[in-house]
Chains A and B, each alone.
Chain A
C-alpha cells in the first residue's frame, strides 16, 4: 500500500536526532511467551525486523524473558532460526508469569542499557499492556496496530502505517527526536517467515535485578481457555464472511451453509456483528481478527478499510456484492456483481458437487 495514488503529504518534517540518540542502533523484537509458549506474532515480527535491519545495515535482536530454565534457551535458538542475530536473555523467577511492573522494568532497563533504534511488539493483550507502559516510562513514541512498517531511506526513520479513523484512509506515523521508535503489529498481519534451523547467534544474559517482595501484584491463578468452541479464524485456510448486505439475520444461514460445504470458518464484518447476526468473536478487521487464508469469500461486504486490513493478505479473495462500485472490488481477485441470496446457494451447490458433498 506504500505508493498510493491519493498521496497527501501533511507535513514534511526533517527529523534531526540529538547526539545522544544517534547511539541507538538495531532492531529489536520482544519475544512474547506466556506459559512457556511463544506467541507466533513474535516470529512474524522477526521476519519483518530482518527486512528493516537489512535495510538499515544493523542487527536484529530478540528479547526473551521468563523464569530461568531451558525454555528460554530454546526460545533464543528459535529466535535465531527466524532471523535474530542476537538475543538478550532476561531470566528471573519474578518473570515466570506476565505482570506489568516487572516486565516493564526489565524491558525499560534493557533498552536503556543497549539502546535499540526500533522496538517491535505483538499487538496482543500482553504486548499492548507492556508497550504502552514501556513507551510512557521511556517517554518515546509508540504506534499501535501497524499494518505496514518501512524505513525512510533519507533519515533512517521508521514509517509506521495504520488505518485512520472512520474513513477509507491510512496514515503513516513517524517518531520525532525520540528513541527507540516503538510499534505494535497484530497477529497474522505480517507473513510467517520460513525458519532456518542452521542459523545461530549470540546470547547475552541480562540480569534485571528483580526481587519478588518488591512486586505488589500477585498472580493467584491462570485459567486456560477452552479451545474447543472458539473459532480458529486466524488459522483458517478457507473463510466465508458475511456483511450487512445479507439483509437480515436469517440470511446469514446462507453463509453458514456455504462454509459447511467448504469446511470453512465463518467470519463477518462489524456491521453484521452490530446487527446482532453473529457473535463478536467472528469479526474480521482492524478491531477484530486478522486472517490470511488461501480463500476468502466476502458476501455483502462493502470493503471498508477497517475490514480490508484484516483480510487483504488472503491469497484469493472472492467478492459477492450487488453494487459494481463497492470498494471491495478494488482489492478482490474475483468479482460477482449480484445478489448474494442467489449466489451463495449456487456456490454451495457447485463447490459441493466438486467436493463430493451433496
Chain B
C-alpha cells in the first residue's frame, strides 16, 4: 500500500510559559515536537505497511526548521519524507494549508498512486480539526474522520472498513480507496523505532519542495492571500468586575475557613443553596429507605 501521513511540527505546549506582565507567549527555548495527535496517524500507517507492505511517506508544510519532525517520523519506520516549504505559504489558515497539502499529495500520487492519506485528529497549536476534511474535499477522496479502528482492508476490491467515533456511539463504515482518515487519539501507541530505522532516519534524504515542485497551480490560493480568515485582535481575558471573595485561611484551623466558605456561599448564591438543599433531602430520603 502507498500511504501518505500529514504531520505538523508544533511547539511542545508543556514547555510554554506566558509572560506574567505582557501576557504574551514566551517561545524562546520551547522544544518543537511532532503534533502528538499525528503519532496515532503514523502508527496506524506503519501497521498497515507491516501487514500489506508498500511504503509510508510523511508530508509536512512548514518552515525549513520542520525537518527534524520528518526525521523523527522516519525513525519510527516511515520510508520517505517531503517538506513543502516556501515563503509564500506564510500566514496560511486551514483553507490555504489544505490547498498546499492537497497539491503535494496529487504530485506524489502522480509518481505512484496513493491508497490512503492519514492526518491527526487536530493539531495542538491550530486545534481546528479542519485540515484533514479540507484535503479530502480538495482531492475528492472519501473522508473518514475520528477513526478509532481499521477493521479490515480488502486490497483486491480496494475497500476499507473502519470504526468511527460518532456522537452517541460508534459508526461502522465501509468505503472505497483512496480515502483520507483522521485518526482518533488513543487508538494505538507509537512504536519505538528500530536501530536500523534510527540510523537511516539520521541520514536519509528529505525531499524539499517549493511551490513549483509541489505542483501548486494557483499562487493566489496559498499563504495569507489564500486565507479567507484573519486574526483581527489578540487580547487577554478580562478579570471579573468583582474580585474573588477571600476566605481567610489559617493552616492551624482549616475548619474555620471551610465553615466560613459554606456559610457565605449558602447566603449569597441561591442556586448553589438550592442544589445543596436538594441533595440534603435526597440524602435523608435515601437514608429512610435503608
- A interface vs B, CB < 8 Å? 1-13, 32, 34-35, 37, 39, 97-101, 104, 124-126, 128-129, 131-133, 135-137, 139-145, 159, 164-178, 216-225, 237-238, 262-263, 274, 280, 286-287, 294-295, 305, 308, 315-316, 318-319, 329-339, 342-343, 345-347, 349-351, 354-357
Which residues 185-213 of B sit at the A interface, judged by CB distance below 8 A? Answer: 186
| Cβ distance A133 to chain B, nearest Cβ, rounded Å | 5
Contacts between chains A and B (CB distance < 8 A), count:
313
Residue of A with least CB distance to B264: A334
A295-B275 contact in complex given A165-B127, A166-B13, C-beta closer than 8 Å: yes
Q: What mask results when residues 203 to 242 of chain B are scored 1 for a CB within 8 Å of chain A, else 0? A: 0000000000000000000000001111111111111100
Known: A8-B234, A169-B237, A330-B240. 18 other contacts (CB 8 A): A1-B235, A34-B166, A39-B167, A97-B171, A132-B137, A135-B95, A167-B24, A169-B234, A174-B232, A225-B169, A274-B14, A294-B269, A316-B269, A331-B240, A333-B240, A334-B247, A336-B257, A355-B280
Whether B246 lies near A140 (C-beta < 8 A) is no
Whether A4 lies near B236 (C-beta < 8 A) is yes
Enumerate chain B residues within 8 angstroms of A128, measured Cβ to Cβ.
Answer: 129-130, 133, 145
Enumerate chain A residues within 8 angstroms of B266, measured Cβ to Cβ.
Answer: 354
Residue of B with least CB distance to A164: B234
Enumerate chain A residues within 8 angstroms of B125, measured Cβ to Cβ.
Answer: 165-166
| Cβ distance B5 to chain A, nearest Cβ, rounded Å | 18
A173-B230 contact in complex given A1-B238, A217-B174, C-beta closer than 8 Å: yes
Enumerate chain A residues within 8 angstroms of B236, measured Cβ to Cβ.
Answer: 4-6, 168-170
Whether A315 lies near B254 (C-beta < 8 A) is no
- Is B150 interfacial (CB 8 A cutoff)? no
Cα distance A171–B128 in the bound complex, in angstroms? 14
Q: What mask results when residues 243 to 275 of chain B are scored 1 for a CB within 8 Å of chain A, else 0? A: 111110101001101110110111001011011
Enumerate chain B residues within 8 angstroms of A346, measured Cβ to Cβ.
Answer: 254-255, 257-258
Cα distance A137–B269 in the bound complex, in angstroms? 48
Cα distance A11–B239 in the bound complex, in angstroms? 24
Enumerate chain B residues within 8 angstroms of A336, measured Cβ to Cβ.
Answer: 246-247, 249, 257, 261
